[in-house]
C-alpha cells in the first residue's frame, strides 16, 4: 500500500517534477535525470538512481514514492505462452500475457481492473469493473513481460497489444499516456508506434478522438458480428454504438490518420460463422477497408458459446479471401492456462 501523504512520482509531468526540484534548490537537469530513470530505465525505487546524490534521493523519498507493479503469479503454457497475474499497489490484480512466435514477441496488457462492457463471450466481461489503470501500471506490465521474454527466450518484446482486461478507450487518458511512455525515444522505451495496437469494442466518439489527437498506435475493432441485431446479442455496447455509427467513426479515423483498421472476429459455432455472416462482414469491411483476423474462440464456463468447427472457419475465410479481403486465421495460444483471447479473468472474481 502507498504511504500516507506521499505522491506517486510517476503521476508528475516533467514540468511538474522540474518545478518541484527547482523549488528545493536542485538544478533543472536533475528533473531530466529522474525522468529518465522512471521511464527509460524503469527504476522501481529511488535507491536505483545512482547518478543522483544521496541527499537528492532522500529528498525524493521524503516527498514521493514509486508504486511498481509486481508479478504475483506466472504460468507457462505448453506452447510457450506466459500468463501473469500482476498485483497493483492497492492489492487489485490484472492479467497480462506474453505470446511468443517465431517472428515476434507480443505483450498483451490490461487497461482496467475488470470491465464494464459485459460482452457475453468474454470472461472479463463477467467481472466487475473496479477502476482504470494509470499509465505507469500499463507501462509496468510491458516492462515485466519484456523481462519474461528475455529470461525465457532471450528476445525482447516486439509488439504490444491493448487486448487484455478492460476497454482501453474507456480509460482513454491513461492509455494514451502509456503509449507516449512506451514510444518516447528520449525518456521512454523507444518502441515503434507501428508495433502498438489499441483494441476497442467500438466506442465511436473515442475512435474519433484517437484520430483527432493523432495518437501514434494502430487500431483494432472487436467486431465479432457484422449485423446490428446479432452484435447486440453478444455486445451490449452496440446498442449505443451501432455499426453505422462505428463505420462513420472509423472512416473519420482512416481519413485523418491514413491507417487501416484491423477487424477482430471471434468465430462462435453456429452463431456468427455462416456464409451469410461472412457476406455481412464483406459488406461492412468494404465500407472501410482493413484486414480481418478470424480468431478461434475459447469457451468459458460463464457463456454458452462453443468454438466453430474448422471446416466452417475455412469456408468463412475462403468467402472473404475470394472477395479480396486480407484475412488471417488466428489460432489460440495459451488455452491450457486460460491465457487465450477472451479467457482473462481473475479467478477470485469469478467466484
pLDDT digits (tens, 9 = 90+) for 188-208: 999 999 999 999 999 999 999
296: closest CA among 84, 79, 74, 75?
A: 79
> Strands 70-76, 64-65: parallel, antiparallel or unpaired by DSSP?
unpaired
In the predicted model, is pLDDT for residue 301 greater than 80? Answer: no
Confidence band, pLDDT 50/70/90 cuts, at residue 344: very low
In the predicted model, is pLDDT for residue 342 greater than 50? Answer: no
Cα 131 from Cα 273, distance rounded (Å):
34
pLDDT computed for residue 335 by the predictor: 56
302: closest CA among 233, 267, 349, 350?
A: 350
Cβ 198 vs Cβ 175: under 8 Å:
yes
Distance, C-alpha 124 to centroid of its chain: 13
Q: Could you tell me if residue 126 is left (phi over 0), alpha (psi between -120 and 50 degrees) or otherwise beta?
A: alpha
pLDDT computed for residue 339 by the predictor: 47
Beta strands (DSSP E) in the chain are 7-8, 64-65, 70-76, 82-87, 93-101, 104-108, 112-113, 131-132, 159-162, 196-200, 218-222, 261-267, 290-296, 327-330
Grid coordinates of 237: 455496447
**Percent of the chain at pLDDT exceeding 70:** 93
Q: Using N-to-C axis directions, what is the helix angle for 243-257 and 204-212, rounded to 10°?
A: 10
- Residue 264 falls in the annotated catalytic set: no
Confidence band, pLDDT 50/70/90 cuts, at residue 251: very high
Cα 152 from Cα 154, distance rounded (Å):
6
Q: Give the residue carrying C-alpha cell 480481418.
A: 292
Confidence band, pLDDT 50/70/90 cuts, at residue 338: low
- Residue 95 falls in the annotated catalytic set: yes
Catalytic residue among 108, 115, 122, 341: 341
Catalytic residue among 26, 95, 167, 296: 95
pLDDT computed for residue 334 by the predictor: 52
pLDDT computed for residue 340 by the predictor: 47
Tens of pLDDT, residue by residue over 17-52, are: 999 999 999 999 999 999 999 999 999 999 999 999
Q: How many residues does the chain have?
A: 351
In the predicted model, is pLDDT for residue 343 greater than 70? Answer: no
Amino acid at each position: 500500500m502507498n504511504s500516507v501523504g506521499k505522491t506517486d512520482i510517476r503521476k508528475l509531468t516533467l514540468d511538474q517534477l522540474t518545478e518541484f526540484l527547482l523549488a528545493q534548490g536542485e538544478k533543472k537537469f536533475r528533473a531530466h535525470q529522474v525522468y529518465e530513470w522512471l521511464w527509460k530505465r524503469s527504476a522501481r525505487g529511488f535507491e536505483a538512481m545512482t547518478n543522483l546524490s544521496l541527499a537528492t534521493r532522500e529528498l525524493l523519498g521524503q516527498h514521493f514514492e514509486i508504486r511498481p507493479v509486481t508479478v504475483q503469479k506466472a504460468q507457462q503454457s505448453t506452447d510457450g505462452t506466459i500468463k501473469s497475474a500482476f498485483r497493483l499497489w492497492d492489492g487489485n490484480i490484472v492479467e497480462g500475457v506474453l505470446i511468443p512466435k517465431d517472428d515476434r514477441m507480443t505483450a498483451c496488457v490490461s487497461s482496467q481492473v475488470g470491465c464494464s462492457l459485459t460482452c457475453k463471450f468474454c470472461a472479463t466481461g463477467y467481472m466487475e469493473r473496479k477502476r482504470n489503470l494509470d499509465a505507469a501500471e500499463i507501462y509496468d506490465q510491458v516492462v515485466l513481460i519484456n523481462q519474461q521474454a528475455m529470461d525465457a527466450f532471450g528476445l525482447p518484446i516486439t509488439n504490444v497489444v491493448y487486448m487484455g482486461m478492460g476497454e482501453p478507450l474507456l480509460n482513454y487518458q491513461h492509455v494514451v499516456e502509456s503509449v507516449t511512455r512506451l514510444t518516447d525515444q528520449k525518456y521512454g522505451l523507444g518502441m515503434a508506434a507501428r508495433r502498438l495496437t489499441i483494441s476497442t469494442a467500438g466506442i465511436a466518439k473515442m475512435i474519433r478522438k484517437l484520430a483527432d489527437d493523432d495518437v501514434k498506435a494502430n487500431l483494432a475493432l472487436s467486431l465479432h458480428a457484422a449485423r446490428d441485431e446479432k452484435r447486440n446479442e453478444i455486445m451490449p455496447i452496440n446498442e449505443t454504438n451501432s455499426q453505422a455509427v462505428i463505420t462513420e467513426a472509423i472512416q473519420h479515423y482512416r481519413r485523418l490518420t491514413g491507417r487501416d483498421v484491423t477487424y477482430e472476429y471471434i468465430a462462435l459455432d453456429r452463431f456468427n460463422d455462416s456464409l451469410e455472416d461472412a457476406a455481412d462482414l464483406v459488406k461492412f469491411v468494404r465500407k472501410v477497408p482493413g484486414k480481418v483476423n478470424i480468431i478461434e474462440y475459447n469457451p468459458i464456463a460463464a457463456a454458452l458459446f462453443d468454438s466453430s468447427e474448422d471446416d466452417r472457419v475455412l469456408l468463412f475465410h475462403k468467402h472473404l479471401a475470394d472477395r479480396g479481403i486480407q484475412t488471417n486465421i488466428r489460432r489460440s495460444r495459451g488455452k491450457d492456462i486460460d491465457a487465450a483471447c477472451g479467457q482473462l479473468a481473475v479467478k477470485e472474481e469469478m467466484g
